Chain A
Amino acid sequence: MQNRSLSFWLFLTPVIMGLGIVVVIPFLYGLFYSFTDWNGITANAFIGFENYINLFQESEFMDSIWFTVKFAVVTVILLNIMGLGLALLVTRNIKSGNLLRTVFFMPNLIGGLILGFIWQFIFISVFGDIAGLTGIEGLNGWLSTTNTGFWGLVILTAWQMAGYIMIIYIAYLENIPKELIEAAKIDGASSFQRFKNITFPLVAPAFTVSMFLTLSMAFKIYDQNLSLTNGGPFNSTQMVAMEIVRTAFSDNQMAYAQAKAVIFFLIVAVIALTQVYYNKKREVEM
């Protein structure tokens, strides 16, 4: 198919229109409007960087970024440990391997909104009852403080997504030649030595893949945040995505929210581009 051929363009028209109207044009509009006093319908004045200057001085927005960063760091570490652990577990020669894969992966298929509601029940009612039975005070009043809200979100996300990360690690684990492990066994390597010297180096690429995947997932979380804590208490567990949605659709400050959305884009893009850079570098080394 040549550039000038009609069929080339006919084949591309639907997706070019789709991406153009839904993503590219709104993105460019948004960039432009973030420098104005746009109210969602009309923009009266070009105000330069005013929105951007304001957002860096707004404690609620900066708090939401800081909260998201903390959440992302903890979740990424936890998810990768759990994902690798589960992958090592189900790829062992055990009878329930396939069943366990199915079970660990299941929460991934259900939306974050619904899972957040289910865990609201677990954290409030189930934890409360367990506290009553065992006398463990720490299980009372979950989701009513910033700290328990934070860990509630971490637990929910780790439980939901560990199965997904497990799948990624499994894909890499199953690519390790069996002969390599067998040979090491015959040479008398212990199972820890086999893990350290064979499995781990060969699974290392999966580490980069899932680290950045989890990092960008953690940054973009919205549904779980909405249904589990709804940002409370006092907006202290509000993540960036939710903060932007509220500024736009509850406070109706469209241009200001759009400026926040541009900053959000820059953060997410930097994370993703770092990943691309690392992947390229690794491919060269290999």
Chain B
Amino acid sequence: MKKNKEKRNLISIEILGLLLGLIWIAPFYLMIVNAFKTKRDIFSGVLGFPEEVVFSNFVEAFIDLAFLKSLFNSVLITGLSIAIIILFSSMAGYALARNKSKLSGIIFFIFVAAMLIPFQSVMIPLVSIFGQADMLNAGGLIFMYLGFGCSLSIFLYHGAMTGISKSMDEAAIIDGANRFQTFWYIIFPLLKPISVTVAILNVIWIWNDYLLPSLVLSESNATIPLKMFYFFGQYTKQWHLALAGLTIAILPVIVGYFFAQKQIINGVSEGAVK
């Protein structure tokens, strides 16, 4: 009897959950369905299916977004930023964890404290300084991402180092490895799980970042969010094109999520709870 009641309860919870899930993806559904409509079709109603399915919106949006170029810029900037954040932050996390002096503690504290500073509080002098150094370009942007991203990453690497015994280093040093070899061949591979977390957190942030690239990059080397902003401004009141553009823009993220959802959710969970 009791088992049956519990089972019924679970089924109603399941139905409630699925309904909520449908509501959750409704905005994406409405975006995609209407991206296949003609302008007139959208005007006469956005809730139904397309009268005739058209693909031309996607073609036009794809060309106007210069999508391959924007995608390339996004991949390049995100990829290089992540690579240097992971390399330099893991090195720093290692050095700070293996040096127990007061100075090392102070340096670590400064990195953690810097996380308190919101972007808007440094943005104006930052743009001015980089502008005077003629560094308002993709290279400058990647360096800025190192500066903004290293604090949290060092914090995570520093925490992970506590689980790696010092005898690992000592054995390698006795075998004649120098500090960098010890780090690169022994320690860095052991840090792989936390590197995955660091990579995921930074990819989500850098891939989607709008404000900083909008201040640094010119339109010719715009990333996807930046290009999307210009594109959307051109097509106000032309929802058929705007929605097709938005669909194209989020496609890479959805594909990535499909293949790595477990790692992504675990990574975000680890980054938030620590």
Residues of A within 8 A of B (CB): 1-3, 5, 7-8, 11-12, 14-16, 18-27, 29-30, 33, 40-41, 86, 89-90, 92-97, 99-114, 117-119, 121-122, 125-126, 129-130, 133, 159, 164, 167-168, 170-172, 209, 213, 219-220, 222-223, 226-227, 241, 244-245, 248-249, 254, 257-258, 261-262, 264-265, 268-269, 272-273
**How far is A213 from B115 in the complex, measured between Cα atoms in Å?**
13
Q: Is there an interface contact between B129 and A25, defined as CB atoms closer than 8 Å?
A: yes
Q: Is there an interface contact between B125 and A30, defined as CB atoms closer than 8 Å?
A: yes
Q: Is B76 part of the binding interface, using a Cβ–Cβ cutoff of 8 Å?
A: no
A94-B13 in contact given A22-B147, A125-B46, A171-B273 (Cβ < 8 Å): yes
Using Cβ atoms and an 8 Å threshold, which residues of chain B touch A172? 273
Using Cβ atoms and an 8 Å threshold, which residues of chain A touch B124? 26, 30, 33, 40, 248, 254, 257-258, 261
Residues of B within 8 A of A (CB): 10, 13-14, 16-18, 20-21, 24-25, 27-28, 30-31, 34, 42, 45-47, 84, 88-89, 91-92, 94-96, 98-99, 101, 103-104, 107, 110-111, 114, 116-126, 128-129, 132, 143-144, 146-148, 150-151, 154, 178-180, 183, 204, 207-211, 215, 225, 228-229, 232, 239, 242-243, 246, 249-250, 253-254, 256-257, 261, 264-265, 268-269, 272-273
Q: Is there an interface contact between B27 and A118, defined as CB atoms closer than 8 Å?
A: yes
CB pairs A–B below 8 angstroms (6 shown): A8-B104, A23-B114, A30-B121, A103-B25, A171-B273, A254-B128
Q: Is there an interface contact between A222 and B88, defined as CB atoms closer than 8 Å?
A: no
Using Cβ atoms and an 8 Å threshold, which residues of chain A touch B243? 118, 121
Q: Would you list the 7 A-B pairs with minimal beta carbon distance, nearest first?
A: A22-B147, A111-B208, A11-B95, A26-B125, A7-B179, A18-B147, A14-B88
Using Cβ atoms and an 8 Å threshold, which residues of chain A touch B129? 21, 25-26, 29
Using Cβ atoms and an 8 Å threshold, which residues of chain B touch A106? 24-25, 28, 254, 257
Q: Is there an interface contact between B269 and A168, defined as CB atoms closer than 8 Å?
A: yes
A248-B123 in contact given A1-B95, A121-B30, A223-B211 (Cβ < 8 Å): yes
Using Cβ atoms and an 8 Å threshold, which residues of chain B touch A170? 269
- State which of A93, A104, A113, A265 has its C-beta within 8 Å of the C-beta of B121: A265
A3-B273 in contact given A102-B261, A114-B225, A241-B120 (Cβ < 8 Å): no
**How far is A76 from B114 in the complex, measured between Cα atoms in Å?**
24
Most buried by B among A19, A27, A112: A19
